[in-house]
Amino acid sequence: MLTKFFLSFLVLCLQSTFASDVLIWTSNEGAAKAINEIKVDYEKEYKQKIIVEVLNKDLTSLFKTAALTGKGPDILLWANDVSGELAQSGLVEPLDELPFLTENFLPVSLKAFKYKGRLYGYPYAVESLALFYNKNMIKTPPSSFEEIEQIALKINNPAKKIYGFLYDFKTFFFSFPILNASGGYIFGEDANGLNSKDIGITHQGFIDGLTFLQGLNTKGIIPSSTDRGIAFENFKSNKLAFMIDGPWAIKDLNESRVNYGIAVLPTFKGKVAKPFVGVHGFMVRRSSTNKLRAKEFIEKFLLSKKGITTFYKFDNRAPARIDVLDELSKTDPKVEILKRSAENGVAMPNIPQMGSVWTAMGKALSLSLEQKMPAKEALNLVVNQIK
């Protein structure tokens, strides 16, 4: 133990003497502004610069290309769903699940960055879907999707361009909460994490959910042409009672001055609708010579209570840190809703095999909602594509 400690200390000392700047890559301009504010204390204490580069390109491909040649950023700020692929390729550093993480951060945020039982990223923010409702049309959000259906049937008046319920229902990300509510799942889990050989999309829960979505279409509630843009514009224009969307919608809605509220997603068939939880965080390049400094900056500064609060100031995703969530929710009720939504949710799968699921489920939704193929038939058809 002493030898291991001594070696780590020696490496840290050498890094202090010869260390280059710590480089961070992100595509999030808000997060970059937060880091540039947070880094002031670090640079003053450690006499080492933090450089943040905002790249508006495919960060995954750029990082892989650079890391394979021993180059690239010391820290990659990116979404959890690529962490499994990068871990499998040996490009990001496995991290210790330190007590301050398990004590202070949402469990789902840590789970999202795990691959084969190891942690490969430090979370800072979570995002998941919620129910948005127009307070001028609906006073109290309903408790079930079945109730939404009944309200929508009464409100719907396409001739006057008034709608009850619209959302991007042909996109798997948006429809997953209804599909998985009554037992459906994508991949089963075992002691090593997600098991890509256990595929659950033909579970009765998925069939029930997809059948319900077909009903929303055939009853004239959601036209098959509906996408996220159509739903969002109608909601902003006070023509829509309910939509499913995420925290990224809040800024635009606030600017539109529509009188709206948000709620956790209602139940389906009496069961909690579980949205995907996307988690944003920091991964450390395995070949970096600045690994210890990078980890120290993340652990002591970026993930501190002050650091996470600063991120929320510039990036309106819900913080992954519980005490910051609790503090913010005292003055902003929306934060409490976003927290509960994440706690109800399912961590976005990060295993490489998930890529085939997005494609296959997009096809299943299209077959069912546009071509009217029975739900069970559509799901059975695409499960072989996934396998």
Which of 205, 171, 363, 165 has its CA nearest to residue 276? 171
Same domain, 142 and 212: yes
Mean pLDDT of 273-283: 97
Cα–Cα nearest to 125, from 371, 348, 364: 348
Does residue 11 surpass a pLDDT of 90?
no
Q: How confident is the model at residue 320 (pLDDT cuts 50, 70, 90)?
A: very high
Question: Quick one: 268 and 282 in the same domain?
Answer: no
Q: What is the pLDDT of residue 12?
A: 42
Q: Is the dihedral of CA 68, 74, 78, 82 positive or negative?
A: positive
- In the chain, % helix, strand, coil (3-state, to 5) comes to 50, 20, 30
- The per-residue pLDDT for range 223-263, each reduced to its tens digit, is 999 999 999 999 999 999 999 999 999 989 999 989 999 99
Provide mean pLDDT across the span 88-98: 95
Asked if residue 6 and residue 94 are part of one domain, the reply reads yes
Same domain, residue pair 176 and 240: yes
Residues 261 and 141 in one domain: yes
Q: Are residues 228 and 358 both part of a single domain? A: yes
Separation between Cα atoms, residue 291 and residue 193, nearest integer Å: 26
Q: Give the model's pLDDT for residue 158.
A: 87
pLDDT (average), residues 28-47: 96
Q: Which domain holds residue 373?
A: 130-274+353-386
Q: Is a pLDDT exceeding 60 seen at residue 15?
A: no
Residue 1 has pLDDT above 50, yes or no: no
The 3-state DSSP class for residue 148 equals: helix
pLDDT number for residue 19: 58
Residue 3 predicted with pLDDT over 80: no
Note whether 107 and 218 are same-domain residues.
no
Q: Is residue 41 located within the same domain as residue 21?
A: yes
Q: Is the pLDDT of residue 308 over 50?
A: yes
Look at the pTM and tell me if it is higher than 0.85. yes
How far apart CA 204 and CA 182 sit, in angstroms, is 8
CB 37 within 8 A of CB 30: no
Q: Say what the pLDDT of residue 316 is.
A: 79
Residue 321 maps to which CATH number?
A: 3.40.190.10
Residues 269 and 377 in one domain: yes
Q: Does residue 10 sit in the same domain as residue 71? A: yes
Distance from C-alpha of 35 to C-alpha of 22, rounded to nearest angstrom: 12
Q: Do 233 and 378 belong together in one domain?
A: yes
Mean pLDDT of 79-85: 96
Number of domains in the chain: 2
Residue 54: pLDDT above 80?
A: yes
DSSP for 298-315, please give it.
Answer: IIIIITSHHHHHHHHHH-
Is the domain of 267 the same as that of 286?
no
Residue in this structure with the two tokens 């979505």, named with its chain if needed? 213
Can you point out the beta strands (E) in the chain? 22-26, 50-54, 75-79, 114-115, 118-119, 122-128, 130-134, 163-165, 187-190, 193-199, 240-245, 260-263, 276-284, 318-319, 346-347
